[in-house]
A and B are shown apart, each in its own frame.
Chain A
């Protein structure tokens, strides 16, 4: 299921996650969201940017609790909870946000 953005084709896996982390760009994030019929607003970007920073340091997406805490610190306590994250990413912040951030899908019993 390749993804086409501005005339360039990018490889993705069966579920639409980017095959190569280094291909990622904000335009690609937008295109990945569009493929799911969603649009990225500032709230989404806060999460996506944090995921990418964390991944760069730890080579894995942050735990849900780490993410909610970080978002709470940046955007205020009322947003530091999974309810807010699920509003942004109804399919689950771990999976859907990782997808738009170009990170591999979390595996395991999650």
Chain B
């Protein structure tokens, strides 16, 4: 079960660009969504009859609706700037994982059916002159396989002289596949759970309540202070929307405890919602607007039902991308919220503001056993902002870390900020059936991390994305590092934060012995 049938990439001192190895990652792709999971999302249960034509028609509709997509397809000049920028190419050496080649799986079909030259030349059987390709089973197989070897991280786009957004092409391809009946099991099963239960995990309300009560007990045991994790508290000031992994997994849950302590100290009332018990929006990953909208609307409904004034998002990468860029378009207008605060706000913005104003009593020496570095999550780094200042998404988390931790070191400059490498598990790839893709795609980040471990004694890496945290817990041991090296940012905040009335360890021990 835990043994892999593939080779883990070797880590060199520098991120190594491999010689190409055609077909190295050829496979059947991830598990296919079954009929039940497809239909719950409004997609056909299986590959429809005449899927070739339907795919062509859907593609036509996509390029008609999105001028951006058409421009991305038309403007590539094959300069090659993107070829060595993708972590999946670097880790797998399969040339179809060069962003340009992966895009061309889609672009070649587009050229034949949806460009004037392609339409004309097709009549003469000469579409190959412009790289046109007919839609057939072998093309579909390649789409399904290689569009699930892209985490939509958009690193390649940073280096593209035309700014072609590769992720948009991956999303368009996945959307077309779902619409002709070929969806991915991992993402679609999860989206179905969000629609019916409210979160990716399928965590029902009683279980959520039980988990939150358990965490309250833990905080009292640890600090002697009663810190609440309220659920469905009508009339609270803030609705916190956070990934359900924060309720379930480690190190995520330690971050959730951190948010609770920060809210507690701020004196501002807050609540979680059982309806919007998930920040993630996998509708983005599968490129499907309807599902993305439906997921986003839960947050609006919860905010209205609970009568909150503000919405704050927890540590989740793509959720913040969707919230920051599209929440208003998908589920707005949010005119019922307090307009004096960012709509929505990131938990890092919230905590950072309190630190700036001196509201939090922080003892950074509590983290003196650690030297930390920060992994910029791709969707936050390249698709959003924080604090209303350029580069705020880079400086704010680091400012917080420096305030709560005395030893901070950045990884190599070509691997952080806008140039950050994906963890390897983003964009709907965080599933065991894609473990080879995940392990290989983690190579660049693992290289950069290993360097700061060896050169600067880094002991921990911090992330503000649930997917990154789970992915690293899994792949760190594969690369010879400890799974507990990965931490939540608010876990470090939690360690350093001295709560009002907090008891020392000795006082707590005496208390506990008395009971």
Contact = CB atoms under 8 A, between A and B. Distances in A.
Interface of A is mostly: loop
Nearest to A15: B432
Interface string A19-37: 0000000000000000011
Interface in A31-77: 36-38, 57-60, 62-66, 69
Contacts of A62: 207, 211
Interface in B397-440: 430, 432-433
Nearest to B317: A109
A94 interface: yes
B2 interface: yes
Contact of B200 (A37, A65, A90, A108): A108
A2 interface: no
B68 interface: no
A30 to B, nearest CB: 15
B189 interface: yes
A60 B467 contact: no
Interface string B446-481: 000000000000000000001101100010000000
Interface residues of A, number: 28
A108 B204 contact: no
Interface stretch (B115-123, B240-248, B500-508): B240-248
A69 B483 CA distance: 20
B292 interface: no
B190 interface: yes
B199 interface: yes
B151 to A, nearest CB: 13
Contact of A63 (B2, B190, B249): B249
State which size class the interface on B falls in.
35 or more
Contact of A64 (B185, B248, B430): B248
B190 A107 contact: yes
B210 interface: yes
A107 B189 contact: yes
B280 interface: yes
B31 A63 contact: no
A14 interface: yes
A59 to B, nearest CB: 6
A103 B494 CA distance: 33
B202 interface: yes
A64 B206 contact: no
A108 B470 CA distance: 10
B215 interface: yes
A58 B218 CA distance: 20
A45 B244 CA distance: 27
Contact of A109 (B2, B203, B211, B470): B470
A65 B249 CA distance: 8
A49 B24 CA distance: 43
B214 interface: yes
A109 B280 contact: yes
Contacts of B193: 107-108
21 contacts: A14-B31, A57-B206, A59-B207, A60-B201, A60-B207, A65-B211, A65-B215, A65-B218, A65-B253, A66-B210, A69-B214, A82-B250, A91-B2, A95-B432, A108-B193, A108-B200, A108-B202, A109-B243, A109-B245, A110-B201, A110-B470
